[in-house]
């Protein structure tokens, strides 16, 4: 399979030759400079060649069928401080526990010894030589290919791991008399395969090796999507250096991180969940099969807090006045795409007061040797696994911290802090052992293009979740917590199968939230049916307004999970700008899992899900792995005509709405909460038709109090009405206090305001666009926009609104720009604007903007 790319296409290339060589561990040593908006430093890669890992790895199917897997005798990771200094040189005179501080950066070594600085070629993958098998070219040198873009690579060198004191224990010789490439590679091979119960020692040696001196520069070149490294004379992966250091720096426009200001106006930078993942943050192997561990030291001004995917709750170490260092590590192998960092002037938000009862279920987790006994058999590669620790398996609430801009600390105390313990406890009651030992929750800047994002040990939440009560915050928190199991501990082997992450999280969020609220079974069922009704409406909209080829959950069909001989592959539509707006993997995946759960019954289904999690945690899966194991656990009388092939055909490999779902929705009766909403809609329509001069009865006497999801459904039904009077809209606003509801409700309320030109409420629309922009970006189908002013003396024509219509569908991104009065002949004009260039837009695509202003 050759990687042939269309430069104008929307596929995302994964260029790393993971079939030949794998990165087993990264050591990052970085400085964050807010003045230049650059992150720079070094990354050391510890590699394992294909000859070794191909022998070690068996397919998932073989692992799961084997009953003879031995339980790992593992130690659990505890907070461990192994600081990594600036990666310059290591000698026997260096005191390891001290930080070696050196000047930032290195000079560009382009045009020297065959090295070249990063040059982006507009033509995409510019040479066919990077599309071929890079394993062994006969007389050619072996080529290490890493995924990389938007980086300036300054130098690449081999690391002399043999010079580190104590490394002789990793060789067959008691003394290192003759140092060769083979000896260095032998040391790295032994280091990366240390047993899991020696994880502390392994991290220590990784850190020491990362500081060792270089022993020769390596040749490198870059193109749009990759960094290629070679060593003259090293013709195979086995001969290639197994420890290399890359000196590099990011670019301000790099797509992996966003430089912005938080809600308090202070500078910050964070990984935004970009379609290009982390390749613009550090050179890496992006394919999910490249499971690695990492440790990182990050330096920043003392006023900043550094948060990262890490098992330890890092604390700052002062290096000198005004500069601090933060250290994190991860011992569970994860894809490089899950690495997350956020640097800003965050404040840790703590509970002001708490009774002893509030913390009754939360116990500090400090494992002892007595805890390291077998709880079950794990099938993943060896690492310190929480599923193997008795104390971890019973820990309902993992340690957690909350960080936010100072101005949002109060809102976090009122809402978020109260919800985390019950949501974590609920998740444990459904799925069992928490895969990760701790959790940081960060309220990210307002330009974050989603309501939330989960990464190992850290979660981003939008500020939109903090207003309008606990419902939106609770459901989103549950969704992201669910990703700890589905999306992180269990990852998709093929990224086109996103439903394995988002479908599960969407289905589990309702179950977790019901358990967190301690709802009675009939109440939980009613609320879940109501949310199913809302998702059904969204799915219908999605199918009507998206290209058919992007409605398929398993687009690669029989080729799902396949790569080229080198391990390179392409993610279909991975760069398509429409993708960030689409929810097909969430919705169709949710309805498939709901369909299967109803077929089995909740008790049987969730019992199976716990079994599945235990069998596959720490591994990569495909749809067939889940479906085959599920069908094996369905009693024959309940299986009927269910088969993997039928599910593929009906749910995963077809566009449009699955036929079983259509039949279910037609046959199913409306739930009680939805019927209550329909009754309220009828009342409002009747009210709207009454003569305006007629005195109306007090609405409080006839209208029911509605739940947030009921309000969303009510407003969606009213949006279907051709006309609503301003008097009716004003009554709606007053009756339900719509301006104070959560972002989901206010989103629909803003659509009503705009559709019916309800000028008195334009301030609510402006507030929504400024504070909850991710809602307008992700879900919005607002087709009618008006412009308005904000204060005394401002005419509405002093502002312009942009209706940004995607070329592929009717999806709309709404942006407001201050503007001057329109000139004659410029009432309506078409221009092309890069939405990403506007601060706070959170978009990375070109839109066709229609600017207009009102005449009244």
Q: What is the distance between the alpha carbons of residues 78 and 121, in angstroms, rounded to a whole number?
A: 45
The set of catalytic residues is: 480
Identify the helix (H) or strand (E) that includes residue 305: strand 305-308
Identify the helix (H) or strand (E) that includes residue 417: helix 417-431
Name residue, tokens 């509801």: 741
Whose CA is closest to 180, among 158, 165, 202? Answer: 158
Residues near 350 by Cβ (< 8 Å), separated by ≥ 6? 402, 417
**From the CA atom positions of the chain, what is the Rg in Å?**
28
Structure tokens at 311: 């098992």
For helices 471-482 and 417-431, the axis angle rounded to 10 degrees is 40
| Residues 599 and 642: beta-carbon distance below 8 Å | yes
Whose CA is closest to 615, among 433, 430, 392, 370? Answer: 433
Q: What is the distance between the alpha carbons of residues 443 and 455, in angstroms, rounded to a whole number?
A: 14
In angstroms, how far is CA 566 from the centroid of its own chain? 27
Structure tokens at 123: 């033509």
Name residue, tokens 């526990």: 97
HSE-up of residue 276 (Cα within 13 Å, Cβ side): 21
Fill in the DSSP letter of residue 461: E
Q: What is the distance between the alpha carbons of residues 269 and 120, in angstroms, rounded to a whole number?
A: 24
| Residues 170 and 187: beta-carbon distance below 8 Å | yes
| Residues 74 and 385: beta-carbon distance below 8 Å | yes
Name residue, tokens 């992201």: 480
Q: What is the distance between the alpha carbons of residues 210 and 43, in angstroms, rounded to a whole number?
A: 8
Q: What is the distance between the alpha carbons of residues 608 and 600, in angstroms, rounded to a whole number?
A: 10
Please tell me the total number of residues recorded for the chain in this structure.
Answer: 856
Q: Name beta bridge partners: 230.
A: 219
Give the end-to-end CA distance of the chain in Å, rounded to a whole number.
60
Query: Kindly report the CA angle at 442 between 438 and 445, in degrees rounded to 5?
Result: 160
How far CA 654 is from CA of 160, 317, 539, 554, 628, in Å, comes to 53, 54, 14, 8, 19
Residues near 282 by Cβ (< 8 Å), separated by ≥ 6? 26, 28, 43, 151, 248, 339
Structure tokens at 501: 């992450």
| Residues 41 and 31: beta-carbon distance below 8 Å | yes
**What are the counts of helices (DSSP H) followed by strands (DSSP E) for the chain?**
22, 28
Q: What is the DSSP pairing of strand 341-344 with strand 619-621?
A: unpaired
For helices 471-482 and 499-516, the axis angle rounded to 10 degrees is 130
Query: Kindly report the CA angle at 19 between 16 and 20, in degrees rounded to 5?
Result: 90
Structure tokens at 276: 């290009």
Strands of 347-349's sheet in order across: 347-349, 400-404, 439-443, 458-461, 452-455
HSE-up of residue 115 (Cα within 13 Å, Cβ side): 21
Q: Name beta bridge partners: 401.
A: 440
Instruction: Output phi, psi for 488, to 5 deg.
Output: -120, -65
SS3 19: coil
Query: Kindly report the CA angle at 363 between 358 and 365, in degrees rounded to 5?
Result: 150
């Amino acid at each position: 399979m050759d990687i042939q790319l269309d430069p104008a296409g929307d596929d995302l290339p994964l260029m790393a030759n993971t079939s030949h060589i794998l990165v087993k561990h990264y050591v990052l040593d970085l400085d964050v400079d807010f003045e230049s908006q650059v992150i720079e430093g070094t990354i050391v890669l510890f590699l394992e060649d294909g000859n070794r890992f191909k022998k070690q790895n068996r397919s998932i199917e073989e692992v799961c069928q084997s009953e003879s897997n031995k339980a790992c005798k593992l130690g659990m990771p505890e907070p461990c401080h192994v600081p990594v200094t600036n990666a310059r040189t290591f000698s026997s005179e260096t005191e390891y526990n001290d930080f070696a501080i050196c000047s930032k950066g290195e000079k560009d070594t382009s045009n020297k010894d065959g090295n070249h600085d990063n040059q982006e070629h507009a033509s995409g993958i510019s040479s066919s030589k990077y599309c071929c098998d890079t394993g062994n070219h006969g007389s050619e040198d072996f080529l290490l290919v890493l995924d990389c873009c938007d980086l300036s690579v300054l130098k690449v060198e081999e690391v002399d791991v043999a010079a580190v004191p104590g490394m002789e224990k990793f060789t067959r010789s008691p003394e290192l008399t003759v140092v060769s490439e083979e000896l260095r590679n032998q040391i790295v091979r032994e280091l990366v395969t240390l047993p899991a119960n020696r994880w502390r020692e392994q991290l220590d040696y990784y850190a020491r090796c990362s500081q060792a001196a270089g022993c020769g520069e390596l040749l490198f070149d870059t193109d749009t999507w990759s960094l290629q490294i070679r060593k003259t004379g090293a013709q195979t992966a086995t001969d290639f250096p197994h420890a290399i250091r890359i000196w590099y720096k990011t670019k301000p426009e790099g797509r992996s991180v966003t430089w912005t200001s938080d809600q308090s106006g202070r500078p910050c930078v964070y990984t935004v969940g970009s379609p290009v993942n982390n390749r613009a943050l550090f050179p890496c192997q992006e394919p999910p099969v490249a499971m690695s561990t990492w440790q990182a030291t990050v330096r920043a001004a003392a006023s900043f807090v550094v948060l990262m995917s890490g098992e330890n709750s890092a604390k700052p170490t002062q290096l000198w006045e005004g500069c601090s260092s933060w250290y994190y590590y991860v011992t569970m192998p994860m894809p490089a795409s899950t690495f997350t960092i956020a640097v800003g002037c965050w404040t840790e938000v703590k509970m002001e007061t708490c009774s002893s009862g509030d913390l009754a279920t939360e116990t500090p987790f400090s494992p002892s040797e007595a805890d390291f006994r077998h709880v079950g058999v794990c099938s993943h590669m060896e690492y310190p696994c929480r599923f193997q620790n008795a104390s971890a398996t019973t820990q309902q609430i993992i340690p957690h911290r909350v960080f936010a801009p100072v101005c949002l600390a109060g809102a976090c105390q009122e809402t978020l802090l109260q919800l985390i313990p019950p949501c974590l406890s609920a998740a444990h009651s459904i799925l069992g052992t928490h895969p990760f030992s701790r959790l940081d929750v960060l309220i990210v800047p307002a330009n974050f293009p989603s309501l939330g994002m989960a990464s190992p040990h850290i979660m981003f939440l939008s500020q939109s979740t903090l207003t309008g009560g606990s419902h939106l915050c609770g459901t989103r928190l549950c969704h992201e917590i669910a990703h700890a199991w589905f999306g992180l501990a269990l990852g998709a082997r093929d990224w086109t199968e996103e439903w394995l992450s988002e479908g599960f999280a969407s289905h589990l969020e309702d179950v977790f939230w019901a358990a967190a609220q301690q709802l009675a079974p009939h109440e939980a069922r009613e609320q879940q049916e109501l949310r199913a009704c809302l998702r059904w409406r969204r799915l219908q909209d999605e199918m009507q307004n998206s290209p058919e080829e992007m409605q398929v959950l398993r687009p690669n069909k029989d080729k799902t999970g396949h790569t080229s001989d080198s391990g390179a592959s392409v993610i279909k539509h991975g760069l398509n700008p429409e993708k960030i707006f689409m929810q097909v993997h969430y919705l169709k995946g949710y309805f498939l899992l709901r369909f299967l759960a109803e077929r089995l019954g909740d008790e049987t289904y969730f019992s199976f899900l716990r079994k599945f999690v235990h069998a596959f945690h720490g591994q990569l899966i495909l749809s067939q792995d889940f479906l085959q194991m599920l069908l094996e656990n369905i009693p024959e009388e309940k299986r009927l005509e269910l088969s993997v092939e039928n599910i593929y055909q009906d749910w995963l490999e077809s566009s449009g709405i699955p036929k079983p779902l259509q039949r279910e929705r037609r046959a199913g009766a409306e739930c009680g909460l939805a019927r209550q909403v329909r009754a309220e809609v009828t009342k409002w329509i009747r009210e709207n038709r009454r003569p305006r001069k007629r005195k109306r009865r007090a609405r409080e006497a006839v209208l029911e109090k509605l739940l947030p999801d009921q309000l969303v459904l009510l407003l969606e039904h009213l949006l279907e009405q051709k006309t609503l009077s301003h008097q009716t809209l004003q009554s709606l606003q007053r009756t339900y206090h719509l301006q104070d509801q959560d972002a989901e409700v206010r989103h629909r309320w803003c659509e009503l305001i705009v559709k019916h030109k309800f000028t008195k409420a334009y301030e609510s629309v402006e507030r929504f666009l400024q504070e909850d922009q991710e809602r307008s970006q992700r879900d919005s189908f607002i087709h009618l926009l008006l412009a308005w002013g904000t204060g005394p003396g401002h005419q509405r024509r002093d502002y312009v609104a942009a209706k940004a219509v995607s070329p592929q569908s009717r999806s709309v991104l709404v942006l407001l720009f201050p503007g001057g009065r329109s000139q004659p002949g410029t009432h309506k004009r078409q221009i092309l604007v890069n939405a990403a260039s506007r601060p706070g837009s959170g978009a990375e695509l070109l839109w066709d903007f229609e600017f207009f202003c009102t005449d009244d």
